[in-house]
């Protein structure tokens, strides 16, 4: 273990001793609320309870109780009810960047300073995600899920294609030895060969029966439109906080046309109806798992949902293609634990937060499917993944992705006022393009209307 990370862990382990005594008549009772992100699967519940039990056994000043939301759909309502009743949870998580915009969080900057936590052990782009406007921090880097290109080895073999490149900067090598940059133009061409109709014609053929495609070449598995835009080109000009205005970057217009063409002109991506069909998506919009999709660009958390019980195939990962500017950019989801601003037990919550982010994370990361932000825990994380997927996945791609991770201002879930309403309006545009009449959508006109509507949402009082 590297010395800086070791110092971080040692400091965190002794954090219980660094604060004044918390309890006079028994331990301080705090609750850990789970349900605003991952964490509610049966296997995850067991691991989380084990972490809680270990923490409770390690000291006598704090006692933690898990509070699991009844369902993901009602989790925010449950959280709001607890806060309104004056009984807020003390720790919330894991929770992603976007989800965190729906509540107020405690600034843990003073605790970081008091304990001497060395933030340099984390990748700077991850630390930036948790910086607040007043130079504080709303959380510590915990889990990171870089976007990668998942690919089905069997389908590539069947098509006589070479696999995508194994490292950043390497070209794609065609069967005849020709090399082309691994970018989104090449991605389309590879996806054409992998897209096949019921008669065996692929999307390079004029005979492709677009009404009877049985295998697609590409999908952005479960991605919302701003993640797709950011995959193709990260931008930080969508929202200008200084003027409180939104605008559509030219590259995102280009990306929107690229998406429409991929679905309706090249036919290498499923439209919405195909994605949720029983034949292709097994009724769950999880096409890659069925073995009927060549490639899926999606964050690392997708390892949670890619078992072979349906498709029975071996898969691997490759870097995401170079963006429209020709440079390597990686859109990454990130989860952390946060302390609600309304907590009645901030000191105890901070102590448990540090325990989760250091001692607990080694158990939690494999269960959550994210790579620990602390590099020294990566080995045990990948060992657990190798046990689950023993055919030899190229996990080095994940590690190498970190140096290309988009900054906080370019994050696909970066903040703007009334974020959740904006999120819904963006999805409405995506539904237009992916829906049954998506081929007829005037993309530029729809984007112009999107900006008008988002600006109206941003101008409304905070909800």
pLDDT digits (tens, 9 = 90+) for 131-159: 876 778 888 888 999 999 999 999 999 99
Q: Determine how β-strand 332-338 pairs with β-strand 91-96.
A: antiparallel
For residue 213, list its beta bridge partners: 197
Q: Please tell me the predicted confidence (pLDDT) of residue 281.
A: 67
Q: Determine how β-strand 179-180 pairs with β-strand 172-173.
A: antiparallel
- Cα separation, 166 vs 172, in Å, equals 10
pLDDT at 185 over 80: yes
Q: Please tell me the predicted confidence (pLDDT) of residue 22.
A: 52
- Cα separation, 7 vs 376, in Å, equals 12
Do 3-144+334-404 and 145-331+412-459 share a fold?
yes
Query: Which letter, b or e, does each residue of 393-420 get, where b requires 16 or more Cβ atoms within 10 Å of its Cβ?
Result: bbbebbebbbebbbebbbbbbbbbbbbe
Q: Please tell me the predicted confidence (pLDDT) of residue 6.
A: 44
Task: Phi first, then psi: give them for residue 378, nearest 5 degrees.
Answer: -65, -40
pLDDT bracket for residue 5 (50, 70, 90)? very low
- Cα separation, 108 vs 141, in Å, equals 12
pLDDT at 18 over 50: no
As a whole number of Å, the CA-based R_g of the chain is 23
pLDDT bracket for residue 72 (50, 70, 90)? confident
Sign of the CA dihedral running 196, 192, 412, 425: negative
Lowest model confidence (mean pLDDT) among 48-52, 263-267, 366-370: 366-370
Domain ranges across the chain: 3-144+334-404, 145-331+412-459
Q: How far is CA 399 from the centre of its chain?
A: 15
pLDDT at 25 over 90: no
Q: Is 352 exposed, middle or buried (0-12, 13-18, 19+ CB in 10 A)?
A: buried
Does an H or E element contain 260, and which? helix 250-264
Q: Please tell me the predicted confidence (pLDDT) of residue 13.
A: 44
Q: Please tell me the predicted confidence (pLDDT) of residue 308.
A: 66
Asked if residue 217 lies in contact with residue 211, where contact means CB atoms within 8 angstroms, the answer is no
Q: Please tell me the predicted confidence (pLDDT) of residue 11.
A: 43
Query: Percent of the chain, pLDDT > 70?
Result: 93
Query: Domain 3-144+334-404 sits in which CATH superfamily?
Result: Periplasmic binding protein-like II (3.40.190.10)
- Cα separation, 103 vs 80, in Å, equals 9
Q: Please tell me the predicted confidence (pLDDT) of residue 43.
A: 87
Residue 289 vs residues 83, 143, 203: alpha-carbon distances, Å: 39, 23, 21
Q: Please tell me the predicted confidence (pLDDT) of residue 309.
A: 62
Query: Percent of the chain, pLDDT > 90?
Result: 62
Q: What is the pLDDT of residues 192-228, one digit of tens each?
A: 999 999 999 999 999 999 999 999 999 999 999 999 9
Pick 357 or 231 by higher pLDDT: 231
pLDDT at 413 over 80: yes
pLDDT bracket for residue 279 (50, 70, 90)? confident
Asked if residue 32 lies in contact with residue 89, where contact means CB atoms within 8 angstroms, the answer is yes
Tokens (6 digits) for 308: 């072979």
> What percent of the residues of the chain are helix, what percent strand, and what percent coil, each to the nearest 5?
45, 15, 40
pLDDT at 4 over 70: no
Q: What is the mean pLDDT of the chain?
A: 89
Residue 348 vs residues 64, 166, 292: alpha-carbon distances, Å: 9, 45, 49
Q: Please tell me the predicted confidence (pLDDT) of residue 12.
A: 45
Closest among 218, 193, 210, 198 to 269, alpha carbons compared: 218
Tokens (6 digits) for 445: 């006109």
Q: Please tell me the predicted confidence (pLDDT) of residue 148.
A: 98
pLDDT bracket for residue 409 (50, 70, 90)? confident
pLDDT at 326 over 50: yes
Q: How far is CA 219 from the centre of its chain?
A: 16
Q: What is the pLDDT of residues 364-388, one digit of tens each?
A: 988 888 888 887 788 888 988 898 8
pLDDT at 272 over 70: yes
Closest among 395, 291, 269, 318 to 164, alpha carbons compared: 318
Mean pLDDT of 83-112: 90
Q: Which CATH architecture has domain 145-331+412-459?
A: 3-Layer(aba) Sandwich (3.40)
Contacts of 449 (CB under 8 A, 6+ apart): none
Q: What is the pTM of this model?
A: 0.88
Q: Please tell me the predicted confidence (pLDDT) of residue 306.
A: 84
- Cα separation, 148 vs 151, in Å, equals 9
Q: Please tell me the predicted confidence (pLDDT) of residue 20.
A: 47
């Amino acid at each position: 273990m590297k010395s800086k990370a070791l110092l971080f862990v040692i400091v965190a382990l002794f954090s219980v001793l660094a604060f004044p005594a918390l309890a006079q008549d028994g331990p301080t009772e705090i609750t850990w609320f789970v349900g605003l992100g991952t964490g509610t699967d049966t296997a995850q519940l067991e691991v989380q309870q084990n972490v809680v039990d270990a923490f409770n056994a390690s000291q006598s000043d704090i006692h933690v109780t898990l509070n699991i939301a009844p369902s993901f759909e009602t989790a925010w309502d449950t959280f709001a009810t607890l806060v309104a009743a004056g009984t807020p949870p003390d720790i919330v998580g894991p929770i992603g960047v976007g989800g965190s915009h729906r509540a107020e969080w405690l600034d843990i900057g003073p605790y970081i300073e008091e304990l001497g936590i060395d933030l340099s052990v984390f990748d700077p782009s991850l630390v930036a995600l948790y910086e607040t406007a007043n130079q504080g921090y709303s959380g510590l880097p915990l889990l990171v899920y870089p976007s990668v290109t998942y690919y089905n080895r069997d389908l590539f073999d069947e098509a006589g294609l070479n696999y995508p490149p194994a490292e950043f900067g390497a070209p794609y090598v065609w069967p005849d030895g020709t090399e082309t940059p691994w970018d989104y133009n090449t991605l389309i061409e590879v996806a054409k060969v992998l897209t096949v109709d019921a008669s065996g014609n692929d999307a390079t053929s004029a005979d492709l029966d677009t009404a009877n495609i049985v295998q697609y070449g590409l999908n952005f598995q479960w991605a919302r439109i701003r993640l797709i835009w950011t995959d193709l080109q990260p931008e930080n000009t969508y929202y200008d906080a200084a003027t409180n205005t939104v605008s559509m970057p030219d590259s995102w217009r280009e990306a929107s046309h690229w998406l429409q063409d991929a679905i309706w002109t090249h036919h290498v991506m499923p439209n919405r109806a195909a994605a949720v069909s029983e034949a292709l998506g097994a009724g769950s919009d999880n096409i890659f798992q069925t073995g009927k999709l060549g490639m899926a660009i999606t964050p690392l958390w997708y390892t949670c949902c890619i078992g072979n019980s349906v498709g029975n195939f071996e898969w691997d990962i490759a870097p995401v293609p170079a963006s429209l500017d020709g440079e390597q950019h990686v859109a990454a989801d990130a989860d952390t634990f946060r302390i609600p601003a309304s907590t009645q037990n901030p000191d105890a919550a901070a102590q448990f937060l540090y325990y989760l982010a250091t001692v607990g994370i080694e158990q939690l990361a494999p269960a959550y499917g994210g790579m620990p932000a602390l590099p020294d825990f990566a080995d045990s994380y990948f060992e657990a993944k190798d046990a689950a997927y023993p055919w030899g996945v190229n996990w080095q791609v994940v590690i190498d992705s970190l140096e290309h991770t988009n900054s906080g201002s370019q994050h696909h879930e970066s903040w703007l006022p009334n974020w959740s309403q904006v999120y819904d309006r963006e999805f409405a545009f995506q539904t237009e393009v992916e829906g049954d009449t998506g081929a007829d959508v005037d993309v530029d006109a729809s984007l112009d209307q999107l900006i008008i509507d988002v600006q109206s949402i941003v101008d409304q009082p905070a909800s």
